Amino acid sequence: MVSGTAFLDIEAVVIDGSFCTALLNRVIEHTNAALKRYNWEGLWPTTVIAGSVGPDARALGGALLPLHANFAPDQDLFLKVGA
């Protein structure tokens, strides 16, 4: 997350998955605690939030990849293609 914020301007990181709300909250709590140990100098700390998709989060995230690959406005923004 820290590395990602160095090159992307993200508002939040969403954690979601196929587990109960109590465990989700605990994962977010521990993630926030771990993020406090990193050096954020020159970066804006991100917010970690709970997702609401649940068990289908992984499948929906994977389903978005082909859409992004084919319809993103600027496909070469972060990736160099060719030499």
| Type of residue numbered 16 | D
**Please, how many CA atoms are within 13 Å of residue 75, restricted to the half-sphere of its CB?**
8
Could you report the per-residue pLDDT of 33-83, keeping only the tens digit for each?
999 999 999 998 889 999 888 888 778 888 888 887 777 766 565 555 554
Per-residue model confidence (pLDDT) at position 41: 92
Could you report the per-residue pLDDT of 8-44, keeping only the tens digit for each?
888 899 998 888 899 999 999 999 999 999 999 999 8
Pairing of strands 47-50, 12-15: parallel
Q: Which positions ≥6 away from 78 have C-beta within 8 Å?
A: 7
Q: Where are the domains of the chain?
A: 2-58
